[in-house]
A and B are shown apart, each in its own frame.
Chain A
Amino acid sequence: MDNRDPHAEPHAGATRPDPGTPDGRDVLISRVIDAEASPEDWSAFRALAESDPTVWRDLGEAQRQNEVLGEAFRDEIRVADSVELPELIADDGPFQRRLDSIGRWGGWAAAAAILLVWTTGLPLGSNQRASLIPMGTALSDATPDEAMERYIEAGQRAGRVVGEVPDRLVIETIPQADGSIEVVYLRQIIERRVTDQVFRESKTDSGATVPVRIPASDIQRRRSF
């Protein structure tokens, strides 16, 4: 007894494409490429190939293009594997409203930074850090904070470091077994440099990113933010 629902939509493999129509020919080729061809599909394909040998050429070309397109596609979407959910989204109203307010920006890292400020009551990158480093301590003996402080001070004296962005962007938060939270964040140091070559990113017709040199005469004073 056939228990199938007579009103159910047939699944793709259950249909018999008509090789005499363009769509039927395309579907047969597509099924072979996707390894979905049934023995009946193969029989129909061979019968078609006897009267139209170009179907073999089209199959080969379609197969090759499918592989190349698949590679290109996987390269394009590889970035998806590194995009995680914003971890600190809470159910409380105030955070939700803040999240809404930055929704247009489209990046959750900024939202996480805002939340971190609330949590601590003080931006991590604020200038209230301990700034008294024992003078005369060798760099190799300095703590990471001391070494960073020295780098910033030396950079400012040399005109290389402009400053540090006070807000830190949270990349990841990991609750620990002891109730604490490990926070992975980005510190942003602003540097300046004099250069004779400036490039702008541009897209080719195929979508590839390429550098385009900007003549010095075209450079105007501007800010990116």
Chain B
Amino acid sequence: MDEQGPDLGAIADAIAGDRDALRSVWRSHRRWVAAILLAHKSRQTDLDDLLQSVAVQLCKKIHDVREPEAFRGWLRMVAINAARADGRTVSRKRQGFLRLVGRSSERDEAPAPEHTARAEEAARLMSLAMSLPEGYREPLLMRCVKGMSYRQIGDAMELPETTIETRIARGRRMLRELASGEEKQKTPAPAAAGSV
């Protein structure tokens, strides 16, 4: 999605059945959809499965959108419903997968995750962000989509721009406090004076 927002003409064409326009609209919105899914999905559910589910719903139901201006709010609800439906079947399937690791020559197939300190911190912060209340988590993650303005986030969430700005600001403070709390828990308490 560019800074000017989606092309309402393209959205209107997509609603009218123009497949090239629909493809273009999807490509300009799929990262944004991913942010919404990320904010609402369970940890075990695969993002790509949910994205495919939303893509199918977009093709099937876009004709239901009455006017282009309502498209983003509609697409957000499609994404939220997909995330909440949870893909439990998919998760159960994945949990059933077994990864085989052979002997000797197949050894290089064994997964060996390596985490740098930065990557670990990134994972920790993402985890903390996911623990924020939903009303703060979603706009904070949407803000991470490159070029997405407060106004565009507000349009999608059907909230005033000023509310979005305040929620993002509060969300960032909550994140700082959560991270700071974790750090304090990690740091061992100093020994009491005079103790042996």
Chain B neighbourhood of A22, CB < 8 A: 173
Q: Could you tell me if A29 and B169 are in contact, using CB atoms closer than 8 angstroms?
A: yes
Instruction: State the majority secondary structure of interface residues on B.
Output: helix
Residue in A9, A66, A77, A104 whose Cβ sees the most chain B Cβ within 10 Å: A77
Q: Could you tell me if B44 and A203 are in contact, using CB atoms closer than 8 angstroms?
A: yes
Tally A residues with Cβ within 8 Å of B: 71
Cα of A100 to Cα of B90 in the assembled complex, Å: 17
Chain A neighbourhood of B129, CB < 8 A: 69
Q: Could you tell me if B56 and A111 are in contact, using CB atoms closer than 8 angstroms?
A: yes
B60 interfacial by beta-carbon distance below 8 Å: yes
Give the interface residue-count category, chain B: 35 or more
Q: Could you tell me if B122 and A83 are in contact, using CB atoms closer than 8 angstroms?
A: no
Chain B neighbourhood of A70, CB < 8 A: 144
Chain A neighbourhood of B48, CB < 8 A: 79, 82-83
Q: Could you tell me if B56 and A69 are in contact, using CB atoms closer than 8 angstroms?
A: no
Count: A-B pairs, CB below 8 Å: 205
A154 interfacial by beta-carbon distance below 8 Å: no
B76 interfacial by beta-carbon distance below 8 Å: no
- What mask results when residues 38 to 55 of chain B are scored 1 for a CB within 8 Å of chain A, else 0? 100001100111111101
Q: Could you tell me if B55 and A106 are in contact, using CB atoms closer than 8 angstroms?
A: no
- What mask results when residues 33 to 56 of chain A are scored 1 for a CB within 8 Å of chain B, else 0? 110100000000000000000000
- Which chain B residue lies CB-closest to A26? B169
Q: Which of B4-12, B67-75, B98-106 contacts A (4 or more CB under 8 A)?
A: B98-106
Report the minimal beta-carbon distance from A61 to chain B, rounded to whole angstroms: 6
Report the minimal beta-carbon distance from B167 to chain A, rounded to whole angstroms: 10
Chain B neighbourhood of A84, CB < 8 A: 23, 26, 55
Chain B neighbourhood of A198, CB < 8 A: 98-101
B59 interfacial by beta-carbon distance below 8 Å: yes
Find A208's partner among B82, B118, B123 (CB 8 Å cutoff): B123
- Which chain B residue lies CB-closest to A102? B56
Q: Could you tell me if B125 and A68 are in contact, using CB atoms closer than 8 angstroms?
A: yes
Chain A neighbourhood of B98, CB < 8 A: 198-200, 214, 224
Chain B neighbourhood of A205, CB < 8 A: 127
Residue positions of B touching A, CB distance < 8 A: 17, 22-23, 26, 30-31, 33-35, 38, 43-44, 47-53, 55-56, 58-60, 82, 87, 89-90, 93-103, 106, 110-111, 113, 115, 118, 121-127, 129-130, 141, 143-146, 150-151, 160-162, 164-166, 168-170, 172-173, 175-176, 179
Closest 7 CB pairs of A and B: A72-B122, A26-B169, A77-B34, A30-B169, A12-B165, A80-B34, A73-B144
